[in-house]
Amino acid sequence: MRAMENSTIAFIESLDQEGRGVAHVDGKTIFIDGALPSEQVTYKSHRRKSSYEVADVVEVLQPSNLRTTPKCPHFGYCGGCALQHLDFSGQVAAKQRLLEGNLWHIGKVKAETMLPPIYGPAWGYRHKARLRVRHVPKKGGVLVGFNEKASSFVAHMDSCEVLPPHVSALIVPLQHMIAQLSVRERLPQIEVAVGEQATVLVLRILEALRPEDGPILKAFADTHGVQIWTQTKGPDTVMPFYPLNGPALTYSLPEFQLTYPFKPTEFTQVNPHINRVMLRRAMQLLGAQPQDRIADFFCGLGNFTLPIARSGATVLGMEGSAALVARAVESASLNGLADQVEYREADLFKMTPEALQSLGYFDKWLIDPPRDGALELIKSLADVGRGEDGAMPVAPKVAGPERIVYVSCNPATLARDAGVLVNLKGYRLLAAGVINMFPHTSHVESIALFEKIQTPV
């Protein structure tokens, strides 16, 4: 493509995993922030390597028919969202294509069926968030918000369209309130957690509050109907400050008659609406039956474990966090499912064939790992090779489940693990599809169904 003054023209072919347009110019891959597929743009590079460049759009010469006006006035400056300039339906389609591309290029697999994407409300969906705080006198005082795009600086913002409206409305009052605190220079973060009956703000403070800070915090909590918690060091220092007897954080799954209590810094899905739809899809794919013994690996506080138990199946939930295991045990008891569920603390990133064998046989697995995926767990299933005649499979030492439902927050590691399951472990990738848990961001959640290939005895 030809150069235009100090910028270069390119045709955008696709989006990458960070929501940037991808083009190829003179044999190099160009990642262009702000560009969309099928657009012709001019760009200016700010990072150059031998095989690729990173650039920003200068001008859109031929816009995509899916380009739209961002709703948030801070888009492009705030780093919280990457895709508000792309129509919502286009965001979902782009994520589906990214998933399909990763499965093929990384795992060398292709789903037999692509599932309809799961999506829901586009705005006000984010019930968990970490807001940065910085006292910057040159910018008028205290800043509260997400980081600026590609920067460690806090964005100057007064609202956020992806936070629930009542949380977005707290940004400016928080700036004014924090400016009055003695610890304003030592308060780098606020963790927000929204439950069905409570909203909690956890202030990360690096030095003790002074007596004069208490009335300021209590007045803010009373005025805005929130709970103020503090965290001075690690997760075990998170504790309520005011009020001390406020309602607990909870979320529910009405379809399964389940209620989950959680602490504000414990992992829960950020999008409660999508979580409910995702649970329904997972249960449909898993097909849990009362006679089944099912493993829920990376179970967290039991988000999937308890709906599985509602089917009548017996479930073993395994998780690396002792705190989440304790919360899961509490939830099982609260929901009357303690007799059907067992929880164990285990580092699943260090799974071995021997450790997996010791757990016994499971009819089905549900896997919901963090971004690193579940490679060691999957590798612990024995390979299914072929005998000397090239026909009969070799019986595995660790019998794999007949069905695996894999929920992923990283399409690249899902694709890697899918390649192992399909190419080495004797499974078919029956179906896969995206879950738009984080609208307007490049984050891709997905779900996949694997079924064990039945072989002659």
pLDDT number for residue 454: 80
As a whole number of angstroms, the distance between CA 411 and CA 373 comes to 9
Tokens at 212, concatenated:
């004069």
Q: What is the pLDDT of residue 303?
A: 98
CB burial class (10 A; 0-12, 13-18, 19+) of residue 379?
middle
CATH 2.40.50.1070 domain range(s) in the chain:
128-242
Q: What is the pLDDT of residue 393?
A: 46
How many whole angstroms separate alpha carbon 136 and alpha carbon 154?
9
Tokens of 159: 């609202």
State yes or no: is 299 an active-site residue.
Answer: no
| Measured distance CA(145)–CA(37) in Å, rounded | 30
| Rounded Cα gap, residues 151 and 20, in angstroms | 16
pLDDT tens series, the chain, 457 aa: 444 456 789 999 999 999 999 999 999 999 999 999 999 999 999 999 999 999 999 999 999 999 999 999 999 999 999 999 999 999 999 999 999 999 999 999 999 999 999 999 999 999 999 999 999 988 789 999 999 998 999 999 999 999 999 999 999 999 999 999 999 999 999 999 999 999 999 999 999 999 999 999 999 999 999 999 999 999 899 999 999 999 999 999 999 999 999 999 999 999 999 999 999 999 999 999 999 999 999 999 999 999 999 999 999 999 999 999 999 999 999 999 999 999 999 999 999 999 999 999 999 999 999 999 999 999 999 887 544 444 444 444 567 999 999 999 999 999 999 999 999 999 999 999 999 999 999 999 999 999 999 865 4
Give CA–CA dist 35/26, Å, rounded: 18
Q: Which residues are annotated as a binding site?
A: 72, 78, 81, 160, 269, 298, 303, 319, 347, 368
Separation between Cα atoms, residue 185 and residue 181, nearest integer Å: 9
The pLDDT of residue 30 is 96
Residue numbers in the known binding site for S-adenosyl-L-methionine are 269, 298, 303, 319, 347, 368
Q: Which residues are annotated as a binding site for [4Fe-4S] cluster?
A: 72, 78, 81, 160
Classify each residue of 187-219 as buried b or exposed e, where b means 16 or more C-beta atoms within 10 Å of its C-beta: bebbbbbbbeebbbbbbbbeeebeeebeebbee
Q: What's the pLDDT tens digit per position in 77-124?
A: 999 999 999 999 999 999 999 999 999 999 999 999 999 999 999 999
Two tokens, residue 180: 């009055």
Enclosing H/E stretch for 175: helix 171-179
* CATH, range 3-67: 2.40.50.140
Q: Which of 404, 409, 432, 437 is catalytic?
A: 409
- Residue pair 294/365 in contact (Cβ under 8 Å)? The answer is yes
Q: What is the pLDDT of residue 2?
A: 47
310 SS3 class: helix
Q: Are the CB atoms for 405 and 364 separated by under 8 Å? A: yes
User: What architecture (CATH level 2) is domain 93-121+271-452?
Assistant: 3-Layer(aba) Sandwich (3.40)
Task: Assess contact for 337 and 306: CB atoms under 8 A.
Answer: yes
Rounded CA-CA distance 281/120 in Å is: 14
Could you tell me the two tokens for 312?
């009548």
Provide the pLDDT for residue 403.
98
**128-242 has which CATH code?**
2.40.50.1070
Measured in whole angstroms, the distance separating CA 434 from the mean position of its chain's CA atoms is 12
**What are the tokens at 349?**
């990133």
Tell me the pLDDT of the chain averaged across its residues: 94
d(CA 414, CA 410): 6
Give exposure, 150-163, as e/b (b: 16+ Cβ within 10 Å).
Answer: eeeebbbbeebbbb
Burial category of 15 from C-beta neighbours within 10 Å (exposed 0-12, middle 13-18, buried 19 and up): buried
